[in-house]
A = this chain, B = another copy of it.
Amino acid sequence: MEQKYLLIPGPTPLPPEVLEATGQQMINHRSPSFAGILRRVIEGAREVFQTNHDVLPLTSSGTGGLEAAVVNTLSPGDVVLSLSCGFFGDRFADIAEAYGARVERITVEWGKPIPPEVVADRLRRDRKGEIKAILVTHNDTSTGVTNDVRAISEARENHPALLLVDGVSAVGAMDCQTDAWGLDVVVTASQKALMSPPGIALVAVGPRAWEAVQHARMPRYYFDFHEAKRYLERPVMQTPFTPAISVVYALDVALARIRQVGLANWIARHALMARATRAGVRGLGLSLLAEEPYASNAVTAVRVPEGVDVRRLIARLKEEHGVVVAGGQGPLEGKIFRIGHLGYVEQQDILAVLAALEEVLPELGFPVERGMGVKAAEKVFATTVEVPQ
């Protein structure tokens, strides 16, 4: 069956007006016309990052943005504290290691968040101030766990370590107050809560990060922050290298939509979709990987019931119901499946995936009382004040 419901944690479905913008004709990327579009995108991105400082657009996936965060602020040999509770936390640490940082890894079981007090404790013991930066994933897409980035930032107390935040699946889907929380670099990407095609990473760079850039000796060229900023500040705003123009077109329209809805409402919508998904999943008698206090607005990880073959589950959802969900990664492969509810996802999408699960699960040996998943989700939708779209 053709895909009807794309519910993976990115790329996410695009609204019709974003698709239309994506398919517009090319124009000169160094022209005043394009500068106007780019300026609106940067302004719109500043709003979702909740920052008054710089936002740099890079033509890459989110991982390219993470690499940029590392190589622009650090030097080979620098001690970096990596906080990881999943696949993407590990990746961030691997990037720093690839560029010669000495990475100390704090890891927690996949499905749990990073305890901020562990960070506070480690930093207090760093009397020489050797730790130059902390790497953290705001929301780990692999587990559907949201870290308390604000508390982690505060856990630094007076320690000077920079906080570099992977906000790829977080920014726009949950509250991420870059300036107010003192986050030094926050990275996001176009294809998550910003409901645009993949191809642009957006990187918020605060004043303490810019100081670090002056001394950072990791090699860089394509991802150089200074060049990115220098070109944005030209009389005709532009990027050093040809950007993914179609994605910039898309972001322009998508960010305008988010502004129209209001960021707080946009985040509330994500919270609602997530709550309804969790209620529905529990209604089906399934259990969740992440517990309620740190369960993600962006993606819900569901434990695969004993005896059910998750590959067959995912395949049947797609083939028989046009519902596309994601499997598990790394140690969670075969043990969970993930329902994304990021960006342009609506009530009917959530109900569709639950209804499809109600049909498929019994066929795979897990008995379900029909209607219980949908009913539980509907109850959440019914008892929540409507959120503008």
Contacts and interface: CB of A to CB of B under 8 A. Distances in A.
Interface of A: 3, 6, 8, 10-14, 19-20, 22-29, 31, 33, 59-64, 67, 94-95, 98-100, 189, 191, 197-199, 218-222, 240-247, 250, 324, 326
Contact of A29 (B11, B13, B64, B221): B11
A287 B211 CA distance: 49
Contacts of A26: 6, 11-14, 191, 197
A242 B13 contact: no
Nearest to A192: B242
A244 B13 CA distance: 14
8 contacts: A11-B242, A26-B191, A28-B326, A59-B59, A61-B241, A64-B64, A64-B222, A67-B222
A243 B61 CA distance: 7
Given A31-B324, A221-B99, A242 B64 contact: no
Task: Name A's interface SS.
Answer: loop
Interface centre among A98, A99, A222 (most CB of B within 10 A): A222
B64 A244 contact: no
A13 B25 CA distance: 7
A24 B3 CA distance: 13
Contact of A218 (B13, B28, B189, B219): B219
B19 A62 contact: no
Contact of A244 (B6, B10, B198, B221): B198
A60 to B, nearest CB: 5
Nearest to A24: B19
A240 to B, nearest CB: 8
B63 A241 contact: yes
Contacts of A189: 242
Given A20-B23, A59-B59, 20 more contacts: A3-B25, A6-B25, A14-B25, A19-B25, A22-B23, A27-B324, A28-B324, A59-B64, A59-B199, A59-B244, A62-B241, A63-B241, A64-B222, A67-B221, A95-B222, A98-B219, A98-B221, A99-B221, A198-B243, A199-B199
A340 to B, nearest CB: 10
Contacts of A324: 27-28, 31
A187 to B, nearest CB: 12
A99 B222 CA distance: 11
Contacts of A241: 60-64
Contacts of A62: 241-242
A10 B242 CA distance: 8
Q: Which of A19, A218, A244 has the most CB of B within 10 A?
A: A244
A173 B23 CA distance: 24
Nearest to A12: B26
A164 to B, nearest CB: 15
B19 A23 contact: yes
B19 A198 contact: no
Nearest to A224: B98
Nearest to A244: B199
Nearest to A325: B28
A218 B99 CA distance: 9
Contacts of A199: 59, 199, 243-247
